[in-house]
A = this chain, B = another copy of it.
Amino acid sequence: MTLHELSKQLNLSVSTISRALSRPELVSPETREKVLTSAAAHGYTPNAIARSLKNGRTRALGIIVSDIQNPFYSSVVREVESVAASRGYNCVICNADEDPHREERALELLMSLQVAGVIHASTGANTALLQNLQQSGLLLVDIDRVSGLEDVDTVLLDNAFGARLAAEHLLDLGHSRIAVVTGPQTLTTGRDRLHGFSTVLAERGIALPPELVEVANFREAGGYSAVVRLLALPERPTALFVANNEMMAGALSALHERALRVPQDVSLISFDDVRWARYVEPPLTVVAQPTGQIGTLAAELLFERLAGRGEAVHYVLKPELIQRASCAPPQLLASGP
């Protein structure tokens, strides 16, 4: 059902129909009535494609998450949606699945859908493409990971600080043989969490030999294999720092399989206070991100830009340490196979 068809049925011009629907006050009460009932009866839904071709904008926001299975992003999405809904905007979500190629396709899709803007967690997409899209008028807000773009609003975490929190906790407990499982070094989160961690170790004079550093992919399977390798080392680490919750799930698998006890055999600390972190055995000590805040700020930043703000705004949020039961002092006899 189109405006045109409706106009024939009612013997009115398309413009009248269009007006009756979008700006009812500009049309006589009788016509308005007629049009509205007829439109409802025929189940007319305006073709937003045509509409946005006309005004070059949709009342929709895009969100690109790196991994839809990661509960961290689900929380962010919910907050973004709630801000968007309060302004009458819809959200469409795309999943990059930690694949820069998929991310690029999602970006292009959202661009072509003419969304008002996109909230974007990079997985490493080509910066040149991003720049092109930006120049073509796509409004972006980077969250969680920086994309390399200039002049975009960003809502990031102080990853180095979070890593410091984790490192100091482990060090204070007396660990000295500590392994880290981090994410891709192409991502700021992967880099900063590793670098922040190793900096603290260096400050305290604790070595972090290469065999104790695993660079995985921020996913469950990657975390699993990384921890399997770490546990097979001749001299097993007494503590593990895992750079996100997905890899932590994999770490838990590996530990269970080998019937290793936490924290008696290995202490465990990771990023992200996801829901299940407190229910697992033992409850996990984590570095928690303010996920709700990230989503809210990102959405508000986007709307401010839409409203005309010119200069970029950057937030860097502080994570906090939540101590539960997965970290304890090392047991001296526990090292070695």
Chain A interface residues toward B at CB < 8 A:
1, 43, 45-53, 60, 68-69, 71, 74-75, 77-78, 81, 85, 90-95, 97, 102, 105-106, 108-109, 111-114, 129, 131-133, 135-136, 220, 249, 252, 256, 275-276, 278-282
A105 CB contacts on chain B under 8 angstroms: 90
Could you tell me the dominant secondary structure of chain A's interface residues?
A: helix
Known contacts A50-B53, A280-B281: does B68 contact A90 (CB below 8 Å)? no
Contact pick for A74, options B46, B74, B85, B108, CB 8 Å: B74
Q: Which residues of chain B are near A75, meaning CB under 8 Å?
A: 69
CA distance A106 to B84 in the complex (A): 13
Interchain CB contact under 8 A, B112 and A51: yes
B contact residues around A51 at 8 Å (CB): 112
Q: CB distance A81 to B95 under 8 Å?
A: yes
Q: Which of A75, A279, A281 has the most CB of B within 10 A?
A: A279
Say whether A90 contacts B109, CB under 8 Å. yes
Q: Which residues of B contact A94 (CB under 8 A)?
A: 90-93
Q: A69-B75, A97-B78, A275-B249 are in contact. Are A113 and B48 (CB under 8 A)?
A: yes
* Contact yes or no, B81 A74, CB < 8 A: no
Once bound together, how far apart are the Cα atoms of A278 and B281, in whole Å? 10
Give the residues in chain B near A71, CB-CB below 8 Å: 69, 71
A-B interface, 6 closest residue pairs, ranked by CB to CB distance from nearest: A48-B112, A43-B132, A281-B281, A276-B276, A93-B93, A279-B280
Task: Judge whether B133 and A45 touch: CB under 8 Å.
Answer: yes
CB of A90 within 8 A of CB of B106, answer yes
User: Please, could you name 12 A-B residue pairs with CB atoms under 8 Å apart, sorted by A?
Assistant: A43-B131, A43-B136, A48-B112, A48-B113, A49-B53, A49-B112, A53-B53, A68-B93, A69-B75, A78-B97, A281-B281, A281-B282
Q: Is the CB of A68 within 8 A of B77?
A: yes
- Please give, as numbers and ranges, the residues of chain B lying within 8 Å of A129 by CB-CB distance: 43
Q: Which residue on B lies nearest to A135, using beta carbons? A: B43
A93 and B74 CA atoms in complex are apart in Å by 12
Complex contact A95–B77 (CB within 8 A):
yes
Closest residue of chain B to A90 (Cβ to Cβ) is B109
Q: Which residues of B contact A50 (CB under 8 A)?
A: 53
Q: A108 to B135: give the CA distance in the assembly, Å.
A: 30
Q: Are B68 and A78 in contact (CB under 8 A)?
A: yes
**Closest CB of chain B to A77's CB: distance in Å?**
6
Q: How far is the CB of A112 from chain B (nearest CB, A)?
A: 3
Measured between alpha carbons, how far is A25 from B95 in the docked complex, in Å? 33
Pick the residue among B43, B46, B49, B279 that contacts A49 (CB under 8 A). B49
Contact A111 B69 (CB under 8 A): no
Chain B residue, CB-CB nearest to A108: B45
- Decide: B108 and A81 in contact? CB cutoff 8 A: no
Contact partners of A281 in chain B: CB under 8 A = 279-282
A279 lies within 8 A of B47 (CB) = no
Nearest B residue to A41 via CB reads B132
Known contacts A49-B53, A50-B53, A113-B48; decide if A43 and B133 are in contact (CB<8 Å). Answer: yes
* A136 touching B52, Cβ below 8 Å: no
Asked whether, in the complex, the Cβ of B85 is within 8 Å of the Cβ of A102, the reply is yes
Contact between A95 and B91, CB atoms less than 8 A apart = yes
